[in-house]
Amino acid sequence: MASFKIDESVFDKLAEILKKHNLTEIEYKDGETKIRMSMANNSSSVDTIATLGQAPKSISIEAGPPLPTDFSKHPGALKSPMVGTCYLAPEPGAVNFVSIGDSVQEGQPLLIIEAMKVMNLIKSPKAGKIIHVAVKNSDPIEFGQLLVVIE
């Protein structure tokens, strides 16, 4: 494996940007050096991958539990109560109800599921932060399918 030097202050600055803007992931590229950082759901764990040319090097800084790999088992997983078509915005061309990183209140609209020509507003069952959106606009939805994860 090729060795290379990276100014560690870059990691600190990227982590600061992640926290400041409530981002879950950031990528930085300078020439052949590429750094990608992803923040865990509780903002206490940062996974960083840095690569130079063809020789990847992985650095992991663990300060808390890792992100779950299966969001459907997350305690904040919101699953579809019906079969239909998912709409993330109140109307075509409008801004989505929520996005990853948004804080939501209990009862706040998250998305719409159209079933049998009826628009069903799906509301947040609790207050928290959106950490995962598992569907895209106009996706067909099955009963019990993961929609969003709120932490």
pLDDT in tens, 5-53: 666 677 777 777 777 777 777 777 766 667 777 765 444 444 444 444 5
pLDDT of residue 37: 75
Which domains does the chain carry? Answer: 9-61 (no CATH), 71-150 (2.40.50.100)
Single pTM value for the model: 0.54
pLDDT, position 65: 53
Tokens 């606009």 locate to: 137
Q: Which residue has the higher pLDDT, 137 or 36?
A: 137
Q: How far apart are CA 84 and CA 145, in angstroms?
A: 11
Per DSSP, the residues of 63-124 read SSPPPPS-GGGSTTEEE-SS-EEEESSSSTTSPPS--TT-EE-TT-EEEEEEETTEEEEEE-
Residue 19 DSSP one-character state? H
Query: What whole-number distance in Å separates Cα of residue 27 and Cα of residue 97?
Result: 26
pLDDT tens digit sequence for 65-122: 555 467 878 888 999 999 999 999 998 889 999 988 999 999 999 999 999 989 999 9
